[in-house]
Amino acid sequence: MKNVRYAKCVNCGRIYEAVPSLTTCGCGGILDIVYDYGYIRQKLTKEKLKTRPHTMWRYRELLPVEEDTPAPPLRVGGSPLYEAQRLGKMLGVRKLWIKDDGQNPTASLKDRASAMAVAKAREAGAQIIACSSTGNAASSLAGNAAAAGLKTFIFVPERAPKGKVAQLMTFGANVISVQGNYEETFELSKVAIERWGWYNRNAAINPYLSEGKKTVSLEIAEQLSWQMPDYLAISVGDGCTVAGVWKGLKDLYEIGFIDKLPRLISAQAEGCHPINRAIATGEAWYPMEENTLADSIAVGVPRNADKALRAIRESNGLVVNVTDEEIMAAQRLLGTTCGVFGEPAGVTGTAGLKKLCEQGVIGEEDTVVSVVTGNGLKDVANAIRFCGEPMRLPNDLDLLIDEFQKRGIQP
């Protein structure tokens, strides 16, 4: 990889050759991929991008893969960025865009990391990939691996919503539903991966994954013609997404594609916000209970805390915690004003943005991108619980008229 110099431990600074099966440092720290930006600046131009297909692989010069590694089969990336005029007006910001990453092949941003895992597993010559996940890393790995003809072993906590489990079973994964929380699920996957030597797609453990996730901010920048917003709002669990988003922005800054870095908005659930707590108190992070219906960010022991905390601080970012009610209100608001259906964790960034607007922290001078990280169809039970049931009646126009009157609906 001519564009990659090495991998470096974010904890002790030790340097590693960037081999495909890289995991964590001997000291327990997580690794960061370090690029040769001088080389990339020569190789990649904005002009060159214009002719390429709209997938995450259009940014190959900024990705840690060999030049001849084939892009995995599923179309990952190229998700829409909508200007949300009505929602922006309601929230009182100057401009608001919604990046709908629920439109990836398995319906979450995690596809960006899983496609990278498949590419790197192939480079490593591996036939089997494994991970533990709150759900989306699992379903995206299962789908992307299935398309590439690779076998998967996947560990999910028993609370994983049905939509995600259905995806796993349909993609033919070996699924282990662990009777415990995400932390316990992770621990079982860890010892099983050690026991059988599978390619490891665990969040943060494999340093290539957040390099895949960073393509979401590369896309946002390109979709905005390289004019960056003031803020970028994202939901945070393990912290790989927020760190990846920041990495992508810094990459673009380093190669001279953008001249401004947005401030990150880290949104977590009130019932589980160990990363935001560490930012707010200035202390080290420590574990927290996993007490939220936003299952994808119910992460009490974040695996990528070091990189996430660094990203939020470097960006001079904001942290905001939202209740489950606020999350579900944001789900409905995105649905009614934008026609975008996000899963609870998928809309938590928007819920956080709404709260910051209500608090007057963000206002009419500001431009914001909010990333919806997962599709609402993954968890229909919660959506129905909060958005309610339809009108229910037999084939009878008079009853329909009555019902409209009762509910004050103007036909």
Ligand X SMILES: *Cc1c(COP(=O)(O)O)cnc(C)c1O
Q: How many CA atoms lie within 13 A of 41 on its CB side?
A: 10
CB 240 within 8 A of CB 303: yes
CA distances from 77 to 83, 109, 224, 311 (A): 18, 8, 16, 22
Among 4, 7, 9, 240, binds Zn ion (CB under 5 A): 9
CB 256 within 8 A of CB 272: no
Query: Which backbone phi and psi does 322 adopt, to 5 degrees?
Result: -125, 145
Instruction: Record the tokens describing residue 379, joined without a space.
Output: 């968890």
Q: Binding string to Zn ion for residues 189 to 228, with x set by CB under 5 A, is what?
A: ----------------------------------------
Among 4, 7, 18, 25, binds Zn ion (CB under 5 A): 25
Number of amino acids touching Zn ion (CB under 5 A): 7
Number of amino acids touching ligand X (CB under 6 A): 20
CA distance 125 to 146: 16
Per DSSP, the chain holds a count of helices (H) and strands (E) of 16, 13
Q: Binding string to ligand X for residues 105 to 124, with x set by CB under 6 A, is what?
A: ---x-x--------------
Instruction: Please calculate the CA angle 125-128-130 and round it to the nearest 5 degrees.
Output: 125
Instruction: Indicate whether 266 belongs to the interface with ligand X (CB under 6 A).
Output: no
Instruction: Indicate whether 150 belongs to the interface with Zn ion (CB under 5 A).
Output: no
Q: Which stretch binds ligand X (CB under 6 A): 18-26, 76-84, 229-237, 402-410?
A: 229-237
Among 229, 237, 300, 317, binds ligand X (CB under 6 A): 237
Report the interhelical angle of 324-338 vs 380-387 (nearest 10°). 90
Instruction: Indicate whether 370 belongs to the interface with ligand X (CB under 6 A).
Output: no
Please say which residue, 101 or 366, places its beta carbon nearer to ligand X. Answer: 101
Among 1, 5, 6, 11, binds Zn ion (CB under 5 A): 11
Instruction: Indicate whether 64 belongs to the interface with ligand X (CB under 6 A).
Output: no
Please say which residue, 207 or 262, places its beta carbon nearer to Zn ion. Answer: 207
Instruction: Record the tokens describing residue 54, joined without a space.
Output: 């709209």
Binding residues vs Zn ion (CB under 5 A): 9, 11-12, 14, 25, 27, 29
